[in-house]
Structure 1
Amino acid sequence: MNEKNPESEPHRIDDINRRLYDRRYESHDISRHNLSHDDNSVPSAWESLSNTAQNGKRTPIMKLIFICALIFCVGAIVFMLISLSQGRTSVSNDNIKLTSVGKQFIDAGEDVGYRLTITNKNSVPLELVDLVLEYSTTSNVVPGRGIERTRRTIGTILPRQNVEEEFDIVLYGQEGDERYIKASLEYRIGGSNAIFVKEDTFNVSIRSAPVVIQINAPDSVVTNQPLTFSVDVRSLALSTLNKTLVRLEYPSGFQFDSAEPPPTSGTTDWVLGDLAPGASHLITIHGFLVGNVGEEKTVTSTIGTFDESNRELLTTIYGSSSHMMKLEKPFISAVLSINNSIEDKVIVDESDAINVIINWTNSLPTKVSDVRITTKMQGGLFDAKTIRVQNGRYDSNTGVITWNQDTQDELNTLEPGENGTSNFFFNLNPIVNTTTGGIIRSPRMDVSVDIRATGSDGTIYTAQDVDMATILINSALTLEQGTLHSSGPFAITGQVPPSSGQITMYTLHWKVHNSANPVSDAVLTAHLPTEVTWLGRTSPNSENITYNTETRNITWNMGPINAGVGFSTSAREAYMAVSITPSSTDVGTIPYLTGDITLSATDTYTKQQVTTTKRGHTTQLMGDTTQNDGLVVE
């Protein structure tokens, strides 16, 4: 394949040059064509932009911009002219100055000496001017109360004029309280009905209260011991304080007993009325403070002005005081144990013997001597003839049991932490008087311990009711049973005494009594042996008596039983018919007709379950008109 070399080929210019000077070159005529002629006339001058298509589209936007600029300029000029023409009648709050002058620290009840200066720096007058003064008279204990408002008409304040107003303001409160005085200037300007306001606030601190109220009470007390404390009120005010009231707030566990003078309302409020300068009052309160050892209890007293329409509200607080007391152990602690229970309430049955043990301990860091322990029993349920005291003495005249160094050697001197016991026994009196039929309803008795001793420094220590316990007595729910053959509501057949191989019918008779307290959910149950047949006859029909063929149990659902049933009112009774066919092996014996009989219910007074169990019925007649030994014969 032959490749061409561009450098070997003659250049076209060289070719033209060769032909130009070549003698043998012959020229050729080339036909030519005429070009068409367009007549495009060219204008001799610039035309308007509006005549061009492109400028025609931009013209409305430019006009709009121009018009807006023109309107803005005209508006600015008009606004400037109006502002210049009205500048002399405009009012600015910044050109009104309120200057408050007064005492920033006062004693409660003292005049603040408040003065307010109003300066109008505007070029126009302030018209229909009112000055409103607002200040707090209380600690805002009651929302919406204790606010004083005063309105004073000023009239017109001319340009560049100063107006000075003075007010007599007396403020009350507790030491350290802050009070404010708020001044509001209300005004109008010419040609306007709008009300404009300029405000200023002035703060005042109270250096001292107008009344001193103080609680005088011990720093530590023994729980459940008599407590006496006082509230001392003294007026330091320069003027009379009207409608004053002292209110106490007791701690939890405080039990009010009495006071001198007595409270005006309940146990917390004392109305003192008008308290003159220098006047004083003393309130003494007696009570008990109960709680756990180590607890801190605070009592608070407050004096203020009460609301005439509602004395529960204190509109102004003049002063308050608080005092904290700590509960401590008694100098000798004592714990009562009744029938091995140290609970505050001990439940016993009427038939129980009562064993009381006093466990005592010297709680002081020093020894004590000549210790005397006394116990009182209240309620009249104990049988005095049965009281037995170990190492002590019972005084039947006062009903007090005493242990001292004469009866118990350990009580001569007790070292710190030394402990011991003192105890006694007694039985209870019957709840039901079988002679008169009288019943002691809701029976209870109280046992308390008092202690007296002499400290190593000769101080006499006394403590009342160091420990107390209440004994509640369950109702006596009893069952009286009978086995009948000749009597009862049913027709009974068979031989008595029963004979081997012969059917003998019996009537079971149950009679329920209830003594002191109402009971609920009373149920009586008994089980029938296999040789005894349930005959399905019961009386009266009003009683709910059922028999379960699977368990062979008789159940009498009695429900609630009132106190006194069987004593002051008729007993609850029920009858049931059964039969037995003795076998030859029963000859010479007295077979059982039922198993043990159980009567149970809930005592609604003691909240305890009471239960009575009796031996079951036998073929031996009880309560019947016919008597026999119930032995089975051939």
Structure 2
Amino acid sequence: MANPSFSSNHSSSDAPANASLAEDHDFVEKEIGPSELDEKKSREKAVRKETKKKNHTQLRAKQKNASDYNFSKKDAKKMETIGKQLVEIYENGDGSMPDMSAFSQRKRNGLFRVSLTFLSVVALLCVVAWVGFFVFQPRASFSQEDVVLSISGEETLMIGERAQYRIRYRNNQSVSLEKAELEIRYPAGFVFEEANPAPADDMHDRWDLGELAGNESGYIDIVGRLYADVETEQSFRIFLNYTPSNFSSSFQKVATVNMTVTETPVILLVDAPKEILSGVDASFSASVRLADAYEGPITNLAIVLEPNPRFTKKETSEPSDPFDDLRWPVSVLEKEKTMTIKGFFAPDASGPSDVPLTFKVIGWNSALPSLDPFVFDEETVTVHVAQADLSGTMVVNGTAGDVTVQPGEKMHITLVVKNNGQEPVEHIRVRAVFDMPSADNKSILHWALLDDPQDGIIEGEQRSPTERRGSILWGEAEIGALTALPPGSEVSIDFSLPVKSADDADLAQFLTHEGTVSIDVQYDMNKTKQLFSLAPVQITIQSDLALRVEDSGPVAKGTSERHPVRWILTNTFHPLENIQLSAEWYGDLAWDESALSTPAGNASFDPSTKTLTWNIEQMPTSVDVLALEFVVALQTKNPTQTKLSSPVKLRAKDTVTGSEIFLLGDEIAL
């Protein structure tokens, strides 16, 4: 662009160039004074201001056009700011915008100016494109917080009360939720009755919601009953699974509600003595009744006494459960039912003590009988058990606890009665009571072979088709010391009673294998009759497995001595499994494998240890005899050797009682 020229009356052709420039400079100073210069600057400033105003007006018009694209106020403000920044970058010094539609080229550096201008235009277009597509482009976003899930309903309940719960869900945003599915984990003991809308499966715990559009909501109503222990807390757990439409992964929302079983329709009341002597009978009364606000009846109940090692139940007014001696069924409770329990407390070596007994009333939901029972109510009573003046002990086969015997085995029993008080005890009567398995109204005990030096009085009673009671009573007539027992004195009674063997009875006819023996003692103290009992001893009758070892030798053969041997197993009462017999052999021995005859299982001889082992997986009662036959040869005789084998070790498991059987068979002597 040419420099501005001014008219002059002076010629500059004859003057030097520097002189000409000086003259031109002087001319400007003369022609344009200071006041005129200020006026010129003011005009230029006004032009720039007007130009900026015009540019801003055009910018606002563009912003207005942008509003047609539904830009928010925040986006419009951001666009205005960027526009101002672009104007400040590209405006001329006088405030005007360059005309980019036409360019004048200078002869020098023309290519550079064109390239710079082109790059500037491209950069401007990129900035505008970025602003349009990434800053002002409207786009919906997903938020997990905008997925709402809740459940409401009764938080305190009575056992079995009908309750309704409402599950609410809402997609509180514009993004839709696909593959929406709602799942419920019900509390333990909850019985589903109905739901609206209906669930999608037979378990009543899943609903297919499909697609939840933006701001769509819904709810599900569930009705059911909760059967759970009183004063326990349960909870519903709700899961909403979904996939946002602008995501490929799934999400889950969880909600819970807790409820507490605070009321029961059945109330339990227990009446118990505050104090009782050890060994003396105590009576307890347990009553169950319906709550005042409940209209019955209620079915499938039972009264339960928690086991306590100090307490022994003797008899009750109601029959107990066939499979639980401390549970009494109540099939229907119309209003109230009462039962009594009689028993006694065993003495404690430490002296008087407090013994707790816990009673419960439990129930089952008839719709879900396979579930564990729930507790309607419970009560614990504490009884102070004082030491009795008279005490006793019972030992069976050397032990004071439960015992295991075999058919044909003799039980040796010792009873000891001691006066622990300060006064004499008079007119003592001791009775031993055996409640044992029975078949054809006959006991499994061989009463005909009772060995009782005191010659007590025997009585029998058939209590059920599978149980017979037999008792022995000793009084003053049988044992003189029972007339009066001084303080600190004791009396001992010894006797024995065998269990019948397979030779005495058909053991397969006995359907049970357990019994008890208990002791009752009646006496006078200060002219008052009193009674105490000893805790019963459990008697378990296991299989009549027996082992017999036979040696038919020696049989001379050349320089060796042969011994044909038989291990004979017999069993008739209970099936057996995991049977193993083994024995060690001594001396210069030779094993004859060809002479081995195995009726069942497998037998093997280990020459390194000289051990013979016979393993049998099972021996049913239909197989009453198994005999292993084999031959061992003593190559050379040692004058000092007295035994050919060790005792035979026998181990087996009784499949009925579950007990392990250990027996020792005879050794083979030389």
Q: What is the TM-score with the length of structure 1 in the denominator?
A: 0.50
Structure with more helix by fraction: 2
Q: Tell which structure's C-alpha radius of gyration is larger.
A: 1
Q: Which has the higher contact order (CA 8 A, sep 6+)?
A: 1
Q: What is the TM-score with the length of structure 2 in the denominator?
A: 0.48
